[in-house]
Structure 1
Amino acid sequence: MEEYKRLKRELVANGVILDYYQDTMLIPNGNVAKWDLIDHKGAAAVVAVREDGKLLMVRQYRNALERETLEIPAGGLNGREEPTEAAAVRELEEETGYTCGQVELLNSIYTTVAFCNEKIDIYLARDLKPGKQHLDEDENINVEAYSVEELKQMIFDCKIQDSKTICGILTYAAKFAPESA
């Protein structure tokens, strides 16, 4: 494969959770192109499985979609250096009130590779213990629980459209609940 070369990177805007850059790129065929880049510090998500086999889900309003979504618990890292496992455990407790005794990596995804470097590590959490939510001031999250079969049907019916949630649920189903895969 021929080489692409970045000629210039310009910061267009700083955001709270991401920065927007415009890159000037030299393409192998000799053309010069402008490419957008969204720089994200990363995130972690968690498929939390109760003893009864149901998965904890969070229902919350998402401004970008102007509606509520049903998702696995997740959130951004508190800086690029924060271990994603620690972030997943923190987000599980903050959003659902549950703590966990066991965590393991399920999958890692890049959400939008054409223009964004956001990476989300998705963990499996077991040995859950209920507690109290610790929501941010701008969060209003309802915690719900569903079977793997119910969630898969919601994915197939296009009721769940969030990529990390789809990836987490289907990876869990394939690896740990193969009878439902």
Structure 2
Amino acid sequence: MKIEDTPETWDVVASKPRFSGYVIDVVTDSVKMPGDEVADRDYVVHPGAVAVLALDERQRVLMIRQYRHPARQLMWELPAGLRDVPGEPLVETAARELAEEAGYRAATWDTLLDLRTSPGMSDERIRVFLARDLTPIPEDENSFVAHYEEIGMPVEWVPLGDAVDKALMGMIHNSPAVAGILAAYAASAEGYARLRPADAPEA
């Protein structure tokens, strides 16, 4: 069999909303299974997100640290954000998040990964971009005002090899960060030549 995820939709005979929140909803679908059985599947409806692995000329990864309440941890992550502007190209969403959360622009963008974070319980999709040829944004040009968990987030530059070690040693747990770090390290072996363009379609 071809090892590639493919679109597939099984019949939904009923759908019941369970919860509606500020960002997510929870629904129960009654899905027709093989053998004509019907099973209920609860899942989170999520708008999706983008993340940015920003890499400087010294092969260092830009990382931020943010409090994540469900995990009860301060977690090292990549700049990231929700797909909350209808119709906005994903690379523009990523560029906005990189500017707002880290204060940088990038001249070169590639698609690094497409992730389904927990496909058994959520429809969330995350596209991770590789951003290079970085320049800092002058403070007087960045009008972003931080709120809530984003207030006082530190920014650190971590050598890519060190970031790989920290991921493999269980010191970094955020899934887009771990996946992005490992993917960037693998792609660096071929000079990032095989990466998809920034506007590559999503499956």
TM-score normalised by the chain length of structure 2: 0.81
Matching residue's letter, 2:111: L
Q: 1:135 to 1:69 in 2, by over 3 A?
A: farther
Q: Following superposition of structure 1 onto structure 2, how do residues 1-181 of structure 1 map, counting pairs within 5 Å?
A: 4-131=10-137, 132=139, 134-138=144-148, 139-140=150-151, 141-177=153-189
Q: CA deviation at 1:67?
A: 1.1
| Length, aligned pairs only | 177
TM-score normalised by the chain length of structure 1: 0.90
Structure having the larger proportion of residues in strand: 1
Structure 1 runs of 4+ off > 4 angstroms? Answer: none
- How big is the alpha-carbon RMSD for the aligned residues of Structure 1 and Structure 2? 1.8
CA offset digits 1:124-173 (Å, max 9, x no partner): 11111113473531123110110011101111110111111111111111
Question: Equivalent residue of 2:71, what SS?
Answer: coil
Q: Can you give the 5+ residue segments of structure 1 that lack an aligned partner in the other structure?
A: none
Q: 1:81 to 1:10 in 2, by over 3 A?
A: farther
Q: Can you give the 5+ residue segments of structure 2 that lack an aligned partner in the other structure?
A: 1-8, 192-203
Question: Equivalent residue of 1:171, what SS?
Answer: helix
